[in-house]
Structure 1
Amino acid sequence: MTRINCGILPIELTNKHLIAEHREIKRIPNCVSKGRFNLKNQPEKFTLGTGHVKFFYDKLGYLKKRYEELYVECLKRNINVQYYGNSWNDVPKEMMNDYCPTDSDRKLIRQRILEKLTNKKLDNGTF
């Protein structure tokens, strides 16, 4: 699983979500730079589940900006993280497109985060 909390400001994320996204977001540029990707059947719209990662293969400019925001937020919270910004160095320039998250994207992610937080609380018997 690769978390991309599309459209959610890093400051809004819990520490757990922030750290996980910081760690996982680099998987996509690493995959693209190694040529282990295929744009066939790439979703036209942001999605969760199947196609979630594939959607971002040609939007690595957006992911790079997002990564930098995540990294800065980790530092602001005094979370000790390694810098992975160099993961974007070897990706083809044509894959470095930007993306502007929609209200629908944000709503989808917020619902998923709430669902995860609620399920965790239920699993722990604290909700």
Structure 2
Amino acid sequence: MVRVNLIDSLYLTDQHLIAEYNEILMLISYLRRYPLRHYDVTRIPKRFTLGKGHMIFFKDKVLYLKRRHDSIREEMGKRGYVSRRVLSIDGFPSIMLNDWLPDEQDVMVIKSRLVDKVRTKPWLYTYYGYRLGVDELVSLIKFATWH
């Protein structure tokens, strides 16, 4: 499963931030290997999804992935992490180069998953290098913006 967390990267834990940085690169590699064909357009889920179809959902949203990755790289720099790989969208067919804006329903799916993750292993997560309590982590995610 490849994570694209949708919420503003400012609100991600350090671990979610780094994981998403790497996983968007993996998703872009997948999309290069299996590009969208005109006859595949109907296979793209209409709504953001986790599980089956989650990678196909982004087949026509490469510009969104580029913007998202740039935002994550910027936030990583603010936290002292080095991000060496810059995502390139050169060579993608125009049918794949669309932007996207998640809506509240999409974001609620992600927030719920992130809250479940931090509640399961709160000791694993840090924010700007600091350990936070489970309630602080949950609040961080619940109040996250996405625009």
Which TM class, normalised by the smaller chain length? 0.7 to 0.9
1:77 aligns with 2:79: yes
Aligned partners of 1:10 and 1:69 also within 8 Å: yes
Identical aligned pairs, as a percentage? 33
1:5 aligns with 2:5: yes
SS at match of 1:91: coil
Aligned to 2:128: none
Change (3 A) 1:101 1:64: same
Aligned partners of 2:36 and 2:96 also within 8 Å: no
Residue 37 of structure 1 deviates from its aligned partner by 5.8
RMSD over equivalenced CA pairs, Å: 2.2
Residue 84 of structure 1 deviates from its aligned partner by 2.9
Aligned partners of 2:36 and 2:60 also within 8 Å: no
Change (3 A) 1:111 1:94: same
The one-character-per-residue Cα deviations of 1:25-82 (angstroms, maximum 9, x if unpaired) are 0222222223366735321100111111110010111111001000111011111222
Q: How does 1:1-127 map to 2 (within 5 A)?
A: 1-6=1-6, 8-35=7-34, 39=40, 41-86=43-88, 88-121=89-122
Task: In structure 2, give the amino acid aligned to 1:4.
Answer: V
Structure 2: runs of 5 or more not aligned = 125-132, 135-147
Aligned partners of 1:31 and 1:37 also within 8 Å: no
Aligned partners of 2:36 and 2:95 also within 8 Å: no
Give the structure-1-normalised TM-score. Answer: 0.86
Change (3 A) 1:14 1:35: same
Give the structure-2-normalised TM-score. Answer: 0.75
Count residues in correspondence: 123
SS at match of 1:28: helix
